[in-house]
Amino acid sequence: MSPSNPSASPLLDRMDHPDTLRQLPRPQLRTLADELRAYLLHSVARTGGHLSSNLGTVELTVALHYVFNTPQDRIVWDVGHQTYPHKILTGRRDRMHSLRQYGGLSGFPRRDESEFDAFGTAHSSTSISAALGMALASRIKHEDRYCVAVIGDGAMTAGMAFEAMNNAGVEDCKLLVILNDNDMSISPPVGALNRYLAQLMSGQFYAAAKSVGKSVLKGAPPLFELAKRLEEHAKGMVVPATLFEKFGFNYIGPIDGHDLDSLIPTLENIKQLKGPQFLHVVTKKGQGYKLAEADPVAYHGPGRFDPNVGLVKPATPGKTTFTQVFGQWLCDMAAADERLVGITPAMREGSGMVEFEKRFPQRYFDVGIAEQHAVTFAGGLATEGLKPVVAIYSTFLQRAYDQLIHDVALQNLPVVFALDRAGLVGADGATHAGAYDIAFLRCIPGVSIACPADENECRQLLSTAYAQNHPVAVRYPRGSGAGVAVTSALDGLPFGKGEIRVQGGTIAILAFGTLLYPAIDAAAALGATVVNMRWVKPLDTALLLQVAATHRALVTVEEGATMGGAGSAVLEALQAAGLSVPVLQLGLADAFTEHGDPAHLLKLQGLDAPGILASIRQRFATLCSDLPPAE
């Protein structure tokens, strides 16, 4: 595909609803797919977003909306970052310029955005469960519809997908699971023979012959069992069918997911079959854009770029990110201590572990999209004297809460949780925001929580966490911080201790994490004290009581949910000590935060310096009355 700007898309320009798509003669669908891919490339190049995965689902999306009567038939897209073609074909093309921006289109399916988004998705491996629920609801309500789950092969590493299949296999419902295999990880070569076999196995003749054979041979159990085994092994030699058929699905495929002449007849045949169906399609990430095909990881979620040029490294390197700080610390600590092992649930690049894998391959474990397993696996390693470090996004740790409590905390095992993407994450929105980790971690006995204020403290507190003999989480945000130079040493900071960063009077601001710096700016206009608390648990109670005794009011600031967060911990400690100092809690409101620019989102939450100052002046107007008015 040429990356030249698609100034004219005569077919795509007419596609304001899938009904229009379904009226096209089939030979025109190839042209539509080409126009859609060109439009998609240039749209994402302007806004940034997920690219490789969406280029790979163009033909599959066209085929699904062509064959199925959406939105009457339901399509659930697993993870959902590959739904840009779906959004374009379902009436949202004119809003693609607002993708992942505040007030604009979400980068994931959302029920409140379109009737074609049957289920909100952004985390992995939920599609089969949701689609099964929809299919059984339709059966209960006597409504005739097909429910389709589109799941990537990476998402099949999560246990939830297999739990859903185990449930679905015993149900008589119109459910189709499509495995979008885009890494060639479990597929034999795709070609004419596979296309023929797929259409044959999805056709009425095959289904009827299989049914008749069963009815005839059931009268002779040994022959029936022999025939059943022969069928399984014969299919297993050509396709990886046996596993999925053991779950009760009729396996079809693999077929070329970019070949509309294969996809459409197969889907049409499947619509006529009864019971749960499993279609295996093979697609290529970055399909049609050579640069993305060659490096699908780099083009997985790029920012804005010129599609005629491709991604260009900046002339000058930007600030060091917290993820990079963690990656370097992990390598340095592993070199110093051979007990260290690093674990990631399929987020090697995102968590900064590429270099660690290269240098310490025997101590690197990517367990796939299996957060629950990752945590319990770390617990098992810890029981044998190793020192596991689980690098995981804050939002993904939520998926392993039971394992965190029962398999790590209850046994007091020394696992370090490096919580990337803590706080707001920007364009990915509410599904990826790390808003709740402080609240859900601090109620677990024996778990400690560190909140570094900057890049250097992140490295130091990781070392402190690693030195402990119990579970410790170190939470840090996406991107860079204040730009503080990072030491090369592996020395930690005192466990559970904060510091007074700015000495003032009357009001004291207690900052947890990177909001220390806007707090310092706000305090300058108030003559307030600023305390870098560093630890939510254990809370530096001695320092807190000292500050409470010498100030007339306290303000807590955190980039996390206010309810149950660090400010709540301060209130609990003050109450336990019998002190009644007024406290203003500033943090994330009790609402899901939309996608948008992180700085803008913090401003909307009142967590930038002007917002912090304004909240303090409003809450403690009397104490601030002698101060000059805000500019």
Task: Transcribe 198-248 into DSSP letters.
Answer: HHHHHSHHHHHHHHHHHHHHTTSHHHHHHHHHHHHHHHHHHSS-HHHHHTT
Q: What is the 3-state secondary structure (H, E, C) of 277-345?
A: EEEEEECCCCCCCHHHHHCCCCCCCCCCCECCCECCCCCCCCCCEHHHHHHHHHHHHHHHCCCEEEEEC
Question: From edge to edge, which strands make up the β-sheet containing 277-282?
Answer: 74-77, 147-152, 175-181, 277-282, 250-256
CA pair distance 200, 182, nearest whole angstrom: 23
Q: Are 259 and 195 in contact (CB under 8 A)?
A: yes
442 is catalytic: no
Answer for the pair 125, 153: CB distance below 8 angstroms, yes or no: no
What does DSSP say about strands 529-532 and 499-502: parallel, antiparallel, or unpaired? antiparallel
610 phi, psi to nearest 5 deg: -60, -35
Beta partners for residue 280, in sequence order: 179
Catalytic residue selected from 371, 455, 457, 559: 371
∠564-568-570 over CA atoms, to 5°? Answer: 150
The single residue listed with the structure tokens 């290529």 is 284
Phi–psi pair at 565, nearest 5 degrees: -85, -155
H or E stretch covering 179: strand 175-181
Are the C-beta atoms of residues 419 and 474 closer than 8 Å to each other? yes
Burial of 458 (0-12, 13-18, 19+ CB in 10 A): buried
Identify whether 268 is a catalytic site residue: no
371 in active site? yes
Whole-angstrom Cα distance, residue 517 to residue 390?
28
Residue 451 and residue 513 in contact, taking contact as beta carbons nearer than 8 Å:
yes
SS3 call for 418: strand
In the set 399, 475, 534, 537, the catalytic residue is 399
| Catalytic option among 110, 174, 285, 421 | 285
Q: How far apart, in whole angstroms, are the C-alpha atoms of residue 247 and residue 410? A: 34
Cβ pair 242, 236 in contact under 8 A? yes
What are residue 366's phi and psi, to 5 degrees?
-100, 110
C-alpha distances out from residue 95 to 90, 113, 116, 260, Å: 11, 11, 15, 27
d(CA 631, CA 614): 11
Residue 613 sits at φ, ψ, to 5 deg, of -65, -45
> Do the Cβ atoms of 498 and 532 come closer than 8 Å?
yes
Distance set, CA 84 to CA 50, 165, 418, 619 (Å): 8, 26, 31, 44
Return the active site residues. 285, 371, 399
